[in-house]
Amino acid sequence: MMRYHCPSCRAEVYFGNDTCLSCGTELVFEPGRGFLDLRAEGLPACENRARIGCNWVADAQEGAQGGLCLSCRHTTVIPDLSVEGNLQRWAEFEAAKRNLMRMAVLLDLPLTDSAGPRPRFLFKAPDAGEAVVMGHADGDITLNIAEADDEYRAATRAEMGEPYRTLIGHLRHESGHAFWEVLVKPFPDRLAACRALFGDEREDYGQALERHYAHPAPAGWEQAFVSEYATAHPYEDFAESWANLLHILDGLETALCYGLMPAGHELAAPEAPRDILFWLLGIAMEDLVSAWIALSLALNALNDSLGHPSFYPFILTPKVSEKLDWVRQVIRQGCLAE
């Protein structure tokens, strides 16, 4: 996350703010430019501003329908808002999604196809006890809004034996599947390289997941996989690697913007904060990994001293770093043919 300031009084404002807490200026966020003065600039705010507190500017892109922002335009299904709590759950997911979309813009990820916005997000609530299966299919990302409830998420995390479960984590993981379809699958060379590194994603998916949930991951899986779930299927390995790369890029961007890098790992970042994320795609992977490890060691200890769970409960072995670096190169090359 970048560090943002009020365009009027320069006080610090947070990514989710719609008003400056120091001077009261009404703010809108524009992914490429940061915070702007809603009234002074005469900008249209996103239609979802009053409803879910979306603080983005309405999307002025050619062909954009209605008054939604770039992020809200990617949502195609919302839950039944007459059910108590659903509005709040959906709003929390959208807040996390705005950070995903912010990164997608700064990393130049493709956000449209011939049919319009892509990926598309379907926010669903469990209905009459029927579960919502989270997942991705052809650009459609389905999310269970019950995950926005702390109790539900904590219980599921314990049940699945996961060290980390967050809304942004779900969004990043599922976006990995969606972008794989656009950035890897259509390019024969990339697809071959992906299969060589992650395995063949044509392996039967249903059987692989059944096996994963029936048996523990093979001993020593940490050497080659960033998470236990990544061992389930090559498709999941890619999505977990993608999600972790986005965690690391966002984490380093934040640390750089706040001057938090540990001594010896300062990294010579560009002066314009909005260039940092993209710049991180091009630095030596060993520098990126060692900076992240140094930062997470410090923050794991800091969290421990305040009794919070581990800041980053994953291990970056050389093989895992190689996978993350491959994802990084895919993002850097984008849709350009090799």
Interface contacts to Zn ion, rule CB under 5 A: 6, 8-9, 11, 20, 22-23, 25, 46, 48, 54, 56, 69, 72, 236, 239
Residue 119 preceded by cis peptide, ω within 30:
yes
- Among residues 61 and 260, whose Cβ is nearest to Zn ion? 61
CB of 331 to Zn ion, least distance (A): 18
Complete DSSP assignment for 120-186? EEEEE--BTTBPPPPEEETTEEEEEGGGGSHHHHHHHHHHHT-S---HHHHHHHHHHHHHHHHHTTT
Residue 97: closest CA among 126, 71, 66, 132: 71
- The three-state secondary structure class of 37 is strand
CB of 213 to Zn ion, least distance (A): 14
- Among residues 8 and 142, whose Cβ is nearest to Zn ion? 8
CB of 9 to Zn ion, least distance (A): 3
Amino acid (1-letter code) at residue 34 = G
List the structure tokens of 238: 């890619």
Please, what sign has the CA dihedral across residues 277, 44, 11, 167?
A: negative
The rounded distance, in Å, linking the Cα atoms of 16 and 13 is 8
- Among residues 91 and 191, whose Cβ is nearest to Zn ion? 91
CB of 203 to Zn ion, least distance (A): 14
| DSSP conformational letter for 48 | T
CB of 64 to Zn ion, least distance (A): 12
- Among residues 49 and 118, whose Cβ is nearest to Zn ion? 49
- Among residues 66 and 313, whose Cβ is nearest to Zn ion? 66
Residue 13: closest CA among 43, 34, 38, 42: 34
- Among residues 20 and 106, whose Cβ is nearest to Zn ion? 20
CB of 275 to Zn ion, least distance (A): 25
